Amino acid sequence: MPINIQPILISMEHILQDVLKTNFVPPQSPTAFREIAIPVPPPPGVTNFPAFIYFDLDNQFTLTQEQDIKDAIALVIFNWFHHLSQKWNGGTNNGISDLAACNNVYAIRNLQPTWYIGPRIPNGLVATNIAMDQFTRLIRDNGLRLAPKAKIFAGSLDNGSLTLALTALNRTKVPLSFIVDLSKVGNIGIDAGSIMHAWLHRAGFYAPNTTSYFITECSMCVMRDYELKNLFLPDSAFYKFFSQ
């Protein structure tokens, strides 16, 4: 069976970005990417925050696919903003968001990101607060141009995956880079859940993609609009789109 080497080569670039903190791009062509900007609402209680985040988008994506990806990223940003707004709770910062409540029901494993040093994370609620605070850091570093340029690569992924991203080992200056399968993008709910999953990898969370693991349950909560699980719709219907 032939090996799909393209994701491996792109992942090698991601590793170089993470380790060397550079904007290194393999020599493809001078116009291999085009920059896109996506607006970011100002989260409550957060200062010195950018109005946009930026990505270098692979020129293999059509304009329709570009809009699909921008809409999906905007939905991920909405979920992050919605969480922070509910947690802010009028300034007390002790609220429980819809996302945190959903995760607290289902997520019990791999609650700790790679860079975390501190008390044991006891449940999905606390893990959600940590993950969304890390999203705040990733978005700020991107929008203020503190992290290497985030790139969205067009690729062909195996096993039904829609996105692929490496798990970051660092907490700061992490590029929000990931791969999107050209042939699968186009469903807003699936796209957003898959990009949420990719960003959780960039936030330091590990797979595997199966029931009870935080990175999977958090992404599925987004895809279900925080609703409880349907016994007639298996988790695999969602996480088959996630990369390991």
Q: Indicate which CATH number applies to the domain containing 213.
A: 3.40.390
Structural domain boundaries enclosing 211: 35-41+50-239
Q: What is the mean pLDDT of the chain?
A: 90
Residue 217 inside a domain? The answer is yes
Please report the pLDDT score of residue 243 as a whole number: 80
pLDDT in tens, 106-164: 999 999 999 999 999 999 999 999 999 999 999 999 999 999 999 999 998 888 899 99
User: For residue 35, what pLDDT band results from cuts at 50, 70 and 90?
Assistant: very high
Domain for residue 13, yes or no?
A: no
Residue 12 lies in a domain: no
In the block, residue with structure tokens 């959600």: 128
80-100: average pLDDT: 97
Number of structural domains found in the chain: 1
In the block, tokens 């399968």 appear at 181
The answer to whether position 71 is within a domain reads yes
Residue 226 lies in a domain: yes
Does 8 score more than 60 pLDDT? no
CA distance 171 to 25: 22
| pLDDT surpassing 80 at residue 46 | yes
Collapsed DSSP state (helix, strand, coil) of residue 84: helix
| 86 phi and psi angles, rounded to 5 deg | -70, -40
> Which of 244, 20, 51 is closest to 149 using CA atoms?
20
pLDDT at 11: 52
Q: Indicate whether 156 belongs to any domain.
A: yes
- Is residue 6 assigned to a domain? no
Give a yes or no: residue 24 inside a domain.
no
Of 92-106, 145-159, 205-219, where does the model show the most confidence?
A: 92-106
Cβ–Cβ under 8 Å, residues 117 and 144: no
Please state the rounded mean pLDDT for residues 54-61: 96
